[in-house]
Chain A
Amino acid sequence: MYNFTFHRPADVEKAAALLQSSEEAKLLAGGQTLIPTLKQRLAAPRNLVDLGAIEGLVGIERKGRNVVIGAMTRHAAVAASAVVIKAIPPLAELASHIGDPAVRNQGTLGGSIANNDPAADYPAACIGLGATIVTSKRKIEADDFFTGLFETALEPDEIITQVSFPLPIRAGYAKFPNPASRYALVGVFVAERGKKEVRVAVTGAGESGVFRVPAMERALVKRFAPKSLEGVKVDAKSLVSDLHAGAEYRAHLIGVMAQRAVEAAAK
């Protein structure tokens, strides 16, 4: 990779100041996406701002009807957290299937959603649960956060500090992983948030990243059961076609994974 200047600020304010004042600065969280990117020379920032030494960005807490997770919390910690397993089991389940064990020991929640990889798992959970992303500047609702392929609403000097996940009535996540990378070919997060509110969030299949399926949501509001989704199809036209799977197959997988997610939620 190309060389750069490495910074390890002690707090968020200093990190934000470095982003503002430094030429071509990028944040380093767990590095499980950024470092491979740098190794391939797909990016060459002049400055790297490591968030690893900042206290207060790691943690998992139940706060009323929410689970609040610090942005630098590792996937392995979310997966193993008694708090998450009790309050939002599919969130722990989702984290436990990101990457592989060593990747989960380093990769972080904040890093994942700031990157908004179209095949990442967390965006589906954020949209499905209606999470709130808390940054150094403001609070952003998940529906407003993921704005496009590898794009988010974050400003260049804005740093995610934590994510607040409201507890659903019930929820489930089902993923069809790429057998090699374990990224989601299709991942569906289903959450019943109220008597008339169900969210179905799909990752891995959309050209611009995570999206909701209103037709499935309406069907599940009528009756929250896998059978309700029979015949509810997603139009393959807007889906990704690549060497791993065609759009038609992804459309089919969305139907299957959505049913499995509902099954998992209803258990």
Chain B
Amino acid sequence: MPRMSLTVNGKAVSADVEARTLLVTLLREHLKLTGTHVGCDTSQCGACVVHVDGRAVKSCTMLALQADGARVLTIEGLAPEGGALHPMQEAFRTHHGLQCGYCTPGMIMTAIDLVNREGHELDEHTIRAGLEGNLCRCTGYHNIVKAIAAGASAMKGKRRAASAA
């Protein structure tokens, strides 16, 4: 079984994985980082979004071995255990940007990538287009969009989240 090494949320990890193991499976089942979710099986819903080498990817549509040697950031890596929430997480909290929470880690990881690419002043159109790969069955998206606009603004002046990994 192939062996791989990578950095996850700032920590060096190694694992023996079958070649067919998906990155999301490595994260959830091998590393017990269950904040990343599997929502659809068809690469559509975005509940599995994490950052690999600073870019948002759908971890259900990537082999773990493709991330060999890479730097991965999951939802768990945004804030220290018991510490203050990342500004984007805080924005989702204050703007009621979640109900059941299943899509939320993917939404937040996607939102942070959006800020990294498009900056801190995001209009509604940009946010909605940026969320085309994330599905939510609960909220109707309005508060998610509001949360992301607020979170983007609040991220101004903070270090790029990906480089914190």
In the complex, chain B residues whose CB is within 8 Å of the CB of A197: none
Question: A103 and B133: CB pair below 8 A?
Answer: yes
**Stretch in contact with the other chain, from A1-9, A110-118, A224-232, A237-245:** A1-9
Q: Which size class do A's interface residues fall under?
A: 20 to 34
Residue-by-residue, is A84-126 near B (CB-CB < 8 Å gives 1, otherwise 0)? 0000000000000001111101100000000000000000000
B99 at the interface (CB under 8 A from A): no
In the complex, chain A residues whose CB is within 8 Å of the CB of B43: 32, 35-36, 103
Q: Which residues of A contact B (CB under 8 A)?
A: 1-6, 8, 28, 31-32, 35-36, 38-39, 48, 50, 52, 76, 80, 99-103, 105-106, 180-182
B83 at the interface (CB under 8 A from A): no
Q: List 7 A-B contacts (CB under 8 A).
A: A6-B19, A6-B65, A28-B66, A31-B62, A39-B41, A102-B46, A102-B110
In the complex, chain B residues whose CB is within 8 Å of the CB of A103: 43, 58, 61, 133
Bound form: Cα–Cα A38–B61 in Å: 10
Bound form: Cα–Cα A31–B113 in Å: 20
Given the contacts A36-B61, A180-B44, A2 and B20 also touching, CB distance less than 8 Å: yes
Question: B62 and A80: CB pair below 8 A?
Answer: no
Question: B117 and A4: CB pair below 8 A?
Answer: no
Given the contacts A35-B62, A180-B44, A5 and B133 also touching, CB distance less than 8 Å: no
In the complex, chain B residues whose CB is within 8 Å of the CB of A180: 44
